[in-house]
Chains A and B, each alone.
Chain A
Amino acid sequence: MSILRVEQLSFQYLQANRNALRAVTCEFEPGTVTAIVGANGAGKSTLCFALAGFIPHFFRGKLQGKVYVNGADTQQTPLAQLVTQVGMVFQNPFNQISGAKLTVSEEVAFGLENLGIARAEMETRVARTLQLFDLQHVAQQSPFALSGGQQQRLALASIFIMEPPVMILDEPTAQLDPHGTRQVMKTIQTLAAHGRTIVLVEHKLEWVARLAARVLVLDKGALVADGEPRAILSRANAWGLIETRYARAARAAMERGLIEKKELLPQTLEQAKDWFQIEG
């Protein structure tokens, strides 16, 4: 059974004159990594907010359709209860530091405090989580003293520790340099290896191709494609996305007539090696 189900979901923000989501229907299987791509303003963040319950519990507006998390209707479930089912990580690492805590350990424990988890249990979970996110050596530092990449891993850890089966990551590397991006992407792979269901919004399609087993494309609020990454990313231009450098190289080769035209373009280094060796 799918762990997340979206049925005919439409949403219009208060103060907006058109729908940010239009009749979106999709499902997510447990333990999978799904990427959501789309141009700016396509509605990716809005879909994430709906999946995590921030719509309707945080954002006001006109909502139609349903979202079910593990069979429970998000509109009927309080947010504080939903967050143990669906965790969400945002773009800006700085904004996700609660500010109320002086050390990284305390910051990681913040969610558990709010959930009223007993101290002993908190200690084991914090130790385990810091280890997993490679933050144990900065455990006693101030969260504000960390690098961007470390802060974003801290944000991931702070959500992970609440043990939601689903984690929604909305452009978690948008504010990071390549080094920080690599750190965070590696962490996301670890999460997936731990069986978490992951929904990742990401502009850098190289990473989408490497991490995701499935890609959804949003365009002006509508779900316009849903399927296997390579097939979908090969049509990236059609939705105004920036294709991977491998696809770009392949397209250039095809346009110059070096290689005959093909539908499926390479999206990862492995695929590119394959594609160019066999065809060229």
Chain B
Amino acid sequence: MSFSERLQKDFTTITLALIPVAVVINIVVGQIVATLKLPIYVDSIGTILVGALCGPLPGAITGAISNILWAYITGQIQTAPFALTAFVIGLCAGFFASKGVFKNIAWTIAAGLATGVIAALVSAPILVYVNGGVTGTGTDAIVAYFQATGANLIQAATIQGFISDPIDKTISYLIVWLILRGMSKRLISQFPRSQNILTEESQVEGTS
């Protein structure tokens, strides 16, 4: 299947209806996590979900838009460049899902870790170039420690990312794995990449 055919197949109406809902899930779940003062972000559940159900590009767009909207509504304009990280997280989720990782919890964890590592690698240069290496939160102590012990800015930012991102993304992947388990087959089968999740899909005859 060619790339543009694949895109047309992924961007069905149900994909388009899901994306804004997933964007809102990202933001609201992120806020709930903040309310509960949990030591994680978990702000990409919707992104990973769309990647799994609809493909890499829909997932990536969900991530990027969530991030930009977040910057818009909170006034945290300087977080907008991290839309690139969110975009890549969506791509990763779509890619790993197409390899069937969500059919198996061990693979789900592995994919979460891998996505976390990739997210850290993408974030680090943005963090350094835009933010001067700091986030304005407690994790800056890690950056200070590694810079004090000889790391340069990009190294310190990457290490800081390696410490927080893989855990966060693994938890997010596990939550998505749980959500997918709880969804009815009937609902899952409406999405373009349902075969990412469902093990045996019943044979369908042509409809025309």
Contacts and interface: CB of A to CB of B under 8 A. Distances in A.
A61 B186 contact: no
Given A14-B189, A60-B189, A75 B20 contact: no
Contact of A60 (B13, B20, B207, B208): B207
Contact of A99 (B13, B20, B207, B208): B20
B207 A61 contact: yes
Contacts of B201: 14
Contact of A76 (B20, B202, B208): B208
Nearest to A100: B20
Contacts of B13: 58
Contacts of A60: 189, 204, 207
Contacts of B204: 14, 60-62
Interface string A37-79: 0000000000000000000101111110000000000011000
B205 interface: yes
Nearest to A55: B207
Interface in B177-191: 185-186, 189-190
A201 B202 CA distance: 30
A99 B19 CA distance: 12
Contacts of A124: none
B189 A15 contact: yes
A56 B207 contact: yes
Interface string B63-76: 00000000000000
Given A14-B201, A15-B202, A56-B208, 20 more contacts: A13-B186, A14-B189, A14-B202, A14-B204, A15-B186, A15-B189, A16-B186, A56-B207, A58-B13, A59-B190, A60-B189, A60-B204, A60-B207, A61-B207, A62-B204, A62-B205, A62-B207, A63-B207, A75-B207, A99-B20
